[in-house]
């Protein structure tokens, strides 16, 4: 951005008043200044309590951790503690955001009863789609979803202990990608705290079309639900990483 100007030899770098208005408070100057001479401040900024500036993880450890990521759909009945989710969210706030705006807002449900209620409302939405012969009903196999619910299963939230929902003002065109990035971070962070997560796709589809589901999730009327994760303690332990397709790459 070239906000900080170099005045010359033995002259301290300066930022003009005009340049200050273009600053997005990304913190890059503070992060990379070897002398620690720059401090970025603001009333909405919160310190990083994580310690070291650079990770000491090896490439092998990173590979093992990332390939061990699983979408968890079977959870223990144990509730998720608020303090654990607070720690996860405190880390996730460092996810990349367009122009460093961090405009996302969050709705987090940690009551199993609340999660079950939301799942039931999604089923009611699916039944309405079936009755009205909506194309969504066929596209997302909603009849099978309703049948599974009636048999006592939960194809919506998988009887998870909690939900993490990202939302933002409807007219925010960049928030959708921000949400995908932030939720991906949360899904990757969760196992470090003993939790498992899975994207709640049916839930987010319903939240985008049903005001009732949206309200039950705690998403404000002027905001759009941009993605949701079900969370909880995994019922089973992964024994090995499954195979995956090789990446398709064109080298230029």
Same domain assignment for residues 186 and 91:
yes
Same domain assignment for residues 89 and 22:
no
Taking CA 85 as the corner, what is the angle to CA 82 and CA 89, rounded to the nearest 5 degrees?
A: 135
Domain membership of residue 144 as a residue range: 67-232
**Residue 53, pLDDT score:** 60
Same domain assignment for residues 87 and 179:
yes
pLDDT at 11 over 90: no
Same domain assignment for residues 140 and 199:
yes
The span from the CA of 205 to the CA of 122, in Å, is 9
Position with higher pLDDT, 106 vs 4? 106
Number of domains in the chain: 2
**Residue 191, pLDDT score:** 96
Same domain assignment for residues 222 and 132:
yes
pLDDT digits (tens, 9 = 90+) for 36-76: 888 888 777 877 776 556 668 899 999 999 999 999 999 99
Same domain assignment for residues 155 and 87:
yes
Query: What is the token pair recorded at 87?
Result: 């720690």
Q: What are phi and psi of 210, to 5 degrees?
A: -115, 110
Same domain assignment for residues 144 and 194:
yes
Task: Kindly compute the dihedral angle of the four CA atoms of residues 12, 6, 25, 226, in this order, to the nearest 10 degrees.
Answer: -160
Query: CB–CB of 198/115 below 8 Å?
Result: no
The span from the CA of 222 to the CA of 227, in Å, is 16
Taking CA 163 as the corner, what is the angle to CA 160 and CA 169, rounded to the nearest 5 degrees?
A: 160
9 lies in some domain? yes
> Is the pTM value of this prediction over 0.95?
no
The span from the CA of 26 to the CA of 59, in Å, is 27
**Residue 35, pLDDT score:** 85
250 lies in some domain? no
pLDDT digits (tens, 9 = 90+) for 114-165: 999 999 999 999 999 999 999 999 999 999 999 999 999 999 999 999 999 9
């Amino acid at each position: 951005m070239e906000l900080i100007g170099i005045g010359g030899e033995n002259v301290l770098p300066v930022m003009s008043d005009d340049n200050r208005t273009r600053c997005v408070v990304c913190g890059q100057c503070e992060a990379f200044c070897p002398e620690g001479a720059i401090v970025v401040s603001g009333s909405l900024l919160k310190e990083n309590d994580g310690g070291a500036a650079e990770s000491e993880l090896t490439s092998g450890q990173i590979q093992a951790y990332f390939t061990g990521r699983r979408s968890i759909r079977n959870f223990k009945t144990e509730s998720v503690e608020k303090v654990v989710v607070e720690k996860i969210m405190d880390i996730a706030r460092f996810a990349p955001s367009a122009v460093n705006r961090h405009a996302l807002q969050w709705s987090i449900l940690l009551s199993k009863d609340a999660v079950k209620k939301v799942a039931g409302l999604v089923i009611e939405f699916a039944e309405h789609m079936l009755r009205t012969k909506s194309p969504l009903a066929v596209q997302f196999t909603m009849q099978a979803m309703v049948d599974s619910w009636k048999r006592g299963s939960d194809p919506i939230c998988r009887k998870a202990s909690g939900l993490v929902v990202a939302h933002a003002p409807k007219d925010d065109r960049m928030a959708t990608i921000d949400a995908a990035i932030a939720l991906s971070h949360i899904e990757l962070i969760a196992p470090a705290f003993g939790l498992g997560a899975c994207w709640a796709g049916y839930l987010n589809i319903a939240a985008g079309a049903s005001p009732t589901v949206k309200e039950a999730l705690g998403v404000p009327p002027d905001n759009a639900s941009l993605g949701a994760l079900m969370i909880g303690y995994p019922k089973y332990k992964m024994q090995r990483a499954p195979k995956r397709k090789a990446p398709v790459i064109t080298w230029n």
